[in-house]
Amino acid sequence: MNTWTPDSPVYLDYQATTPTDRRVVEAMLPFFNEKFGNPHSDSHAFGWQAEAGVEEARAKVADLIGAETREIVFTSGATESNNLALKGVADFHRQRRNHVVTCLTEHKCVLEAAHRLEGQGIDVTYLPVGGDGLIDLEQVSNALGDKTALVSIMAVNNEIGVIQPLAEIGALCRDRGVYFHTDAAQAVGKIPLDVNAMSIDLMSISGHKVYGPMGVGVLYVRRRPRVRLTAQIDGGGQERGMRSGTLAPPLCVGLGEACAIAGREMKDEAERLGLLRDRLLDGLRKHIADVTVNGDMERRIPGNLNLAFDRIDANALLKNAKDLAISTGSACMSASIEPSYVLHALGLDDSRAFASLRIGLGRYTTEEEVDYAVGRLVEEIKRLGKAAAIAGAA
């Protein structure tokens, strides 16, 4: 599958997206032009065939997270799932409970949905994280009140890869009668998840972060005890009334297949990626004195490294290293570059945040690619370091 040669950039941005697994593409293909029916057509075989594909996919997704098939709601992606979870729950419960708890390092789509709710009179608490990127359980507990409807804390952070204590947060929420939602876009297929063992009431999943297609996702919605929410898209009442619109069978089938593969291969894949990750970090540390890892190193998915280098402009580095597909956490805001708000929340200052790189390894990353990337990073970092030293001496 991996066709990398030194002529094409090394892909080390698996937190931005993952290629669709070939086996997933194979499973999807018949649903474009052979089994092409509308899955909601219940009067003929074309519809039944498409529906069967969707339902099989639903079962595969459910299986991976310990859910029931009926608890899986297909959406267009984790962005929509997160919006439905936050806005849907807040809308439905706002008369009696008008408070939502989330965290400063959430994905933009959770934070922006929360901002929207604030504009509509919902109280939102944004919990801080420690220097390790992890949430403090006591702060979660203290934030919960009689008016709290929902806690939304992500499973795995998309920039620093740290894993939040889901089961502990879930237990706290269950104890206090508050719904627990988790954005698991970066966690599904990477770490074992069980909605019952972790007392998760709502969970967002993204197809393209788990080697499935873009444009599809899931919101898991617990049935017992039942989670009530207001639909955000009205129409034919598909997905048990929670998300109207014709489902896309090829995309649903793709996500289902991706989940089935992840269930079978997650353990071996995590082991392999852990070794590659260590190889990358050791390789850099052999040649560069000051490399720090942003975020906790233990409670972290193996396919992520977020590294800060001493006084290096990461954006300049990447401009010189077009043969590496890596990302900085910084965002382009019209004319200026903004440092990562996630790294800020960890307590990094601007210069440290701008000196940070997110390196994402995944299913098709090879040792050869890792070694090439180490060599190139060392080269560019030394060059930038030298230039900075000359500029400093002048």
Ligand X SMILES: *Cc1c(COP(=O)(O)O)cnc(C)c1O
Q: Rule CB under 6 A: choose which of 50, 62, 78, 202 binds ligand X.
A: 78
Q: Rule CB under 6 A: choose which of 18, 49, 79, 152 binds ligand X.
A: 79
How far apart are CB 175 and ligand X at their closest, in Å?
26
Q: Is 159 in the site for ligand X (CB under 6 A)?
A: no
By CB under 6 A, the count of residues binding ligand X is 13
Output 187 or 288, the one with its CB closest to ligand X. 187
Q: Is 365 in the site for ligand X (CB under 6 A)?
A: no
Collect contacts of 345-353 with beta carbons under 8 A, ≥24 apart: 345/104, 345/105, 345/128, 345/129, 345/133, 346/105, 346/129, 346/130, 346/131, 346/132, 346/133, 346/160, 346/294, 346/295, 347/131, 348/294, 348/308, 351/311, 352/308, 353/308, 353/329
How far apart are CB 121 and ligand X at their closest, in Å?
25
Q: Is 186 in the site for ligand X (CB under 6 A)?
A: yes
Q: Is 209 in the site for ligand X (CB under 6 A)?
A: yes
* Active-site residue set: 332
Cβ-count burial 294-326 (b if 16+ within 10 Å, e if not): bbbeeebbbbbbbbbbeebbbeebbeebeebbb
Is residue 159 helix, strand or coil?
coil
Structure-block tokens of residue 155: 């499973």
> Per CB under 6 A, which region of 77-85, 140-148, 240-248, 328-336 contacts ligand X?
77-85
Q: Rule CB under 6 A: choose which of 21, 71, 132, 183 binds ligand X.
A: 183
Output 154 or 384, the one with its CB closest to ligand X. 154
Q: Rule CB under 6 A: choose which of 18, 164, 206, 365 binds ligand X.
A: 206
Q: Is 154 in the site for ligand X (CB under 6 A)?
A: yes
Are 270 and 277 a contacting pair, CB within 8 Å? Answer: no
Are 123 and 147 a contacting pair, CB within 8 Å? Answer: yes
Using CB under 6 A as the criterion, which residues of the chain lie in contact with ligand X when the complex forms?
Answer: 77-79, 107, 109, 154, 158, 183, 185-186, 206, 209, 217
